[in-house]
Amino acid sequence: MPEAAIRHDWTRTEVAALFALPFNELLHRAHGVHRQHHDPNAVQVSTLLSIKTGGCPEDCAYCPQAARYDTGVAAQKLMEVDDVLARARAAKAAGASRFCMGAAWRGPKDRDIPKVAAIVRAVKELGLETCATLGLLGDGHAQALKDAGLDYYNHNLDTAPEFYGEIIHTRDYRDRLETLEQVRDAGLKTCCGGIVGMGETREQRAGLLQALANLPEHPHSVPINQLVPVPGTPLGDAEPLDPFEFVRAIAVARILMPLSIVRLSAGRQQMDDAVQALCFFAGAGSIFYGEKLLTTGNPDVEADRALFRRLDLHPMEVAMEAAGVRAGLPESDAAGCGQGCGCSAAA
């Protein structure tokens, strides 16, 4: 197979044509791209912690943390450094290489940044990669987080530009692109993906992936979330997406962004093992792991370990990921390697 080209000029027609390929043909092509650039048996393992839960002023239609929806999620303050550290240590002990921290804010205020920076610094000192998803960033925020040792900043595009207004009204697509630009300019790695199964058409799923692939740099990490409908949110009664359509989205993301690590993200708990295996074959190279790590004998962690054993998968080493795994990220990308969600609800 010829080396996959790194392109930023994908047309909607081209992306839609990938989605329309016969399923086996699409998976064959996606797996070929995956093997060219990644160890097909290595999966990067991240753990996500909500460091500031609930009470968010935004109106993302999928999110139980929006204050305006009656979902039973209580607003909490930003966690203390020591409490975050205890969770980070547990994540590391359970095998995570990256610790992702989400805060349910429209964006951090200037006064929040030193507090988050202290958390990032402490987690980084444990030898974990760090990622934060805090919403829209203001002037100087990205640089301050970078200086504290942040590796990745997550900010999702969520969906196609033309469907975005159906999902969120309190911030626009341009706001998201501007935050991503600040993140890139500060030298942080970007984690940027979206959510499928929100009632969008296949054409609009193609639009999301086209928008991601045509960013000035492909995101280092591309979380593809499947909507988990939460009662009380506007999407609480959304029709489930055909699992094979989700696999197609993973495969198309793999083909469009060959060097990025595609993450099988929210919604994994609702997928059976066979669908997850198809996602790994199609190019997913990262998961979230152990949502309740302080619970002894966590069945989620045990189930994931068993799935890894059955599929002969192994956790990706940080150094391996940093080095760009197989065919290699450019040196500038590989250096200092260190997630996400559009915010914390859907990493």
Which residues are catalytic, by number?
A: 56, 60, 63, 100, 131, 191, 263
Other residues' Cβ atoms within 10 Å of the Cβ of residue 317? 14
Q: Whose Cβ is closer to ligand SF4: residue 73's or residue 284's?
A: 73
Residue 340 is a binding residue for ligand SF4 (CB under 6 A): no
Q: How far apart are CA 228 and CA 142, in angstroms?
A: 30
- Residue 134 interacts with ligand SF4 (CB under 6 A): yes or no: no
By CB under 6 A, tell whether 228 contacts ligand SF4. no
Binding segment for ligand SF4 (CB under 6 A), chosen from 61-69, 182-190, 294-302, 318-326, is 61-69
CB 333 within 8 A of CB 220: yes
Minimum Å distance from CB 33 to ligand SF4? 30
The Cα 288–Cα 49 span in angstroms is 10
Q: Which CB sits closer to ligand SF4, 63 or 316?
A: 63
Q: Which of 73, 90, 137, 345 binds ligand SF4 (CB under 6 A)?
A: 345
Among 56, 278, 287, 322, which residue interacts with ligand SF4 (rule: CB under 6 A)?
56
How many Cβ atoms sit within 10 Å of the Cβ of residue 34?
26
Which range touches ligand SF4 (CB under 6 A), out of 22-30, 36-44, 54-62, 92-100?
Answer: 54-62
344 makes contact with ligand SF4 (CB under 6 A): yes
Contacts of residue 125, Cβ cutoff 8 Å, sequence gap at least 6 = 149
* Position among 43, 88, 101, 104 found at the interface with ligand SF4 (CB under 6 A): 104
Beta-strand pair 284-288/261-264: parallel
**Using rule CB under 6 A, residue 343 touches ligand SF4:** yes
By C-alpha distance, which of 233, 159, 161 is closest to 197?
159
The single-letter code of the amino acid at 146 is: K
Q: Using the rule CB under 6 A, which residue among 65, 130, 204, 265 binds ligand SF4?
A: 65
Binding-site member from 37, 58, 128, 152 for ligand SF4 (CB under 6 A):
58
Minimal CB distance to ligand SF4: which residue?
A: 343
**Nearest approach, Cβ of residue 320 and ligand SF4 (Å):** 31
Q: Does 63 bind ligand SF4 (CB under 6 A)?
A: yes
Q: Transcribe 68-119 into DSSP letters.
A: TS-SSPPP-PPPPHHHHHHHHHHHHHTT-SEEEEEE-SSS--GGGHHHHHHH
Query: 105 or 246: whose CB is closer to ligand SF4?
Result: 105
- Whole-angstrom CA distances from 119 to 5, 125, 153 are 39, 10, 14
Q: In this chain, which stretch among 60-68, 70-78, 279-287, 298-306 interacts with ligand SF4, using CB under 6 A?
A: 60-68
Nearer to ligand SF4, 155 or 218 (CB): 155
Question: What size, in residues, is the chain?
Answer: 347
Q: Which residues contact 158 (CB under 8 A, 6 or more apart)?
A: 60, 164, 167, 168, 176, 194, 195, 208, 342
Q: Site residues (CB under 6 A) for ligand SF4?
A: 56, 58, 60, 63, 65-66, 104, 135, 342-345
